[in-house]
Chain A
Amino acid sequence: MSQSAQPEPVTDVPLLEMRGISKSFPGVMALDGVDIALFAGKVTALIGENGAGKSTLVKILTGIYAADAGEILVDGAPVHFANAQDAIDAGVTAIHQETVLFDELSVAENIFLGHAPRTRLGFVDWKAVNARALALLHSLESNIDPRIRLKDLSIAQRHLVAIARALSVDARIVIMDEPTAALSRKEVDDLFQIVQRLKRQGKAILFISHKFDEVYEIADHYAVFRDGRAVGSGELAGVSQDEIVRLMVGRSIAHAFPKAEVRLGETVLSVEAYTHPTEFRNISFALRKGEIFGIYGLVGAGRSEICQSLFGITRPSAGRLVLEGREIAIRSPGDAIGAGIVYVPEERGRHGAVLQLPIYQNISLPSLSRTSRSGFLRAAEEFALARKYAERFDLRAAALSVPVGTLSGGNQQKVVIGKWLATQPKILILDEPTKGIDIGSKAAVHAFISELASEGLSIIMVSSELPEIVGMSDRVMVMREGLSAGIFERDGLNPEALVRAATGNAGIQP
């Protein structure tokens, strides 16, 4: 369908090929011998859940990480990327979700920032900068004046500038990492026209997206990753969405999770038509005693935002909250803690723990009024409280007075959860509770989440990891673009249905 205008003969040799690429991080095998090939004038869609290894692959391809094993071939010849510049020199460029641009600089300056052509005296050659920017924008069939300031452009035009910037390094291989995540449908259409132009110019494009409709619209080939392995690839034509979804999630899930069967009690919290001006609308659900209520959805679907409003970080603009039969208003984290609602945030180091302070001071921080006497600290009480939760969660630390920042991710999470349990809450909200935690500790975190639920604590768990959501939850609410896309009962929990609801393909017949 795409007759290449390039003089080079159409062959089966991929423009870029990665063979047997492996990369491991402490405790995690991020990529395990994956193969992927990109062809000139073709778009290859890379599909996979969060944590499947897509970002690691992109980082290896752009020279940010070095692979532990495997080889990269450009035009059939092996290359080695020791750093980002090597990748650029080999013609690889990436357009990220949010490319940083500068409002006060001109379009041309934004495009050539950091690699502007220079005169013999070493000054920036403005004539060349503007001329080359103009040529680049023309090749994208745009008539933006390269001399105007970026702040005078529309969002779609800015996107074009970001793409022009990526192409300004003479790229032949273009990686687009979820480029449509923040775009409206109209902007997506504009972007796809640009992709078509790039195809006509004979560039090889790696297109990463969660959205199946977009993948089918733009891609020629596909590659599916799961748990760091390439589990399927080929021509997209003739492959159904259901096949792709099955490749993404296809595995037995239940056995790895220690979810105890809990007899659910009465309703503890009911959220009624909760609405935020920008992040979510009309969210309603009821949480029962001893229940693990999962919230699944793509990044940006509004999952964390609803949790943060339940914890008083942001305020809803409409909606009611009923806790144990009484309507309550939560205006601050203090209100939430007082009501027995606590929140383990996604970003442990930024929001969850004060990494520089000792373990015992982190655990006692929200409980100071109980460990102290008339406002004065009592270290013995604080140590006793910390010891209780350290022993309960089998915390691994040299002493209770070492800073939390010196612990591993899994142990940091134990401290954060311990700090909240010490407040004796009724409802525990967990936002991506095992993010960045190695596999061994993940199982331990899952085990005690399950144990807490069986002791009668009600848990709201946000997760992007399907196995975790399916394996741990009693019920799951799927969110898409700020709206609830359905609540699924445990009996009917089916990973494929969750993915379909989250990506907006609910209409597709199974």
Chain B
Amino acid sequence: MSTMQEKRNIPDRLGTSTARLLGSWEMLLLGVAILIFIANAFASPYFLNAWNLSDATFNFTEKALVAFAMALLIIAGEIDLSVAAIIALASTAMGAAAQAGVGSFGLVMIGIGVGLGCGIVNGTLVSVLRLPSIVVTIGTMSLFRGIAYIVLGDKAYGGYPDSFAYFGQGYVFWVISFEFALFVVFAIGFAILLHATNFGRRIYAIGNNEFAARFSGIRVERIKFILFLLTGLMSGIAAICLTSRLGSTRPSIAQGWELEIVTMVVLGGISILGGSGRIGGVVIAAFVMGLVTFGLGLLNVPGIVMSIFIGLLLIVTITLPILIRQIRQRATA
């Protein structure tokens, strides 16, 4: 011991950044995405076409917008299962407003406003009243969609202004749709928020150890409230895109999306237990899920089989890391 008198120099990091990247979940996922892409290309002659590929992105862009915010919430150790119901309520509100003659700008504001309002309800119940988010959002899921059913019954709203169609059907440049452009912008925005700001760092601290985060002076409740607000906002934006794309609103709109969104987040390598994962993984997971559902669609696989597939994907991606950890522990023990 006494011979080690010289100052030990602790390096900042171990190994190179490329080595870390190559061993990551995101790389594995990217490999899967490429395999599915190739499989699709072989399975259907119509797949490798710029317009077809562009159409394929509509399978995931709206869900992915919500998934980005959901990723932050799950990393912080919370969850919002009411997102699809928020989309339904926001869409219903926009439909009612369109009937009353509100213009496109007004409709967008209503969509965003309803999303934020629902986020405030969830955020207040979780961070002010300190209720568990899974229970709160299962409750608000029924509440929000219930309101949509009461308002609409078995009717549907249509008659949106022509200019409103742009958000779900417009193209920014050649085959790049408005929705896809929005997806790229928010992917970058959320990646910066989570990985390059103090706010993002605090989310990881809360998700890994809420007590220690609180003991470090982090305002845990405030951050959770903001995250619910953000998830509500993104659900509102997704509602605008979806309503615009479909051109009508039924109360069953976006039914079951909460599970697909959570699946996308978990598939993206974000631990359902909180504390770890990156936005990059969610982006790749969005492509994987979009390509799979589009590929199955080209092969005329019915929707119910797709939902079975989504369910299996969720179970496998949650169990796989836990199984691997258990096997490793048994190996070292």
Contacts and interface: CB of A to CB of B under 8 A. Distances in A.
Interface of A: 311, 313, 332-334, 336-337, 343, 345, 350-357, 360-361, 365-366, 368-369, 372, 375-377, 383, 387, 390-391, 394-402, 419
Contact of A399 (B12, B197, B215, B217): B12
- The listed residue with most B CB atoms (<10 A of its CB), out of A350, A368, A376, A419, is A368
A401 B12 contact: yes
A387 B204 contact: no
A395 B10 contact: yes
Interface stretch (B38-46, B206-214, B282-290): B206-214
Interface in B187-243: 196-202, 204-205, 208-209, 211-219
A366 B216 contact: yes
B217 A337 contact: yes
19 contacts: A311-B215, A332-B217, A334-B219, A337-B217, A343-B215, A352-B212, A354-B216, A357-B204, A357-B205, A360-B12, A365-B218, A368-B201, A372-B198, A375-B199, A394-B8, A399-B11, A400-B10, A400-B11, A402-B14
Nearest to A380: B12
Contact of A333 (B11, B200, B214, B276): B214
Nearest to B14: A399
Contact of A351 (B13, B197, B215): B215
Contacts, number: 95
Contacts of A395: 10
B155 interface: no
B12 A376 contact: no
Contacts of B219: 332, 334
7 nearest CB pairs, A to B: A368-B198, A337-B217, A356-B208, A401-B13, A399-B14, A333-B217, A354-B209
Given A355-B209, A357-B204, A376-B197, 8 more contacts: A334-B217, A353-B212, A355-B208, A387-B12, A391-B7, A396-B8, A399-B13, A401-B14
A342 B11 CA distance: 28
A313 B211 CA distance: 10
A331 to B, nearest CB: 11
B238 to A, nearest CB: 26
B251 interface: no
- The listed residue with most B CB atoms (<10 A of its CB), out of A366, A383, A401, is A401
A480 to B, nearest CB: 27
Given A356-B276, A357-B205, A401-B14, A376 B196 contact: yes
Contact of B12 (A343, A369, A383, A391): A383
A391 B10 CA distance: 9
B11 A351 contact: no
Contact of B209 (A333, A350, A372): A350
Contacts of A398: 10-11, 14
Contacts of B12: 360, 383, 387, 399-401
A280 B309 CA distance: 58
Contacts of B205: 354, 357, 361, 365
A390 B10 contact: yes
B208 A354 contact: yes
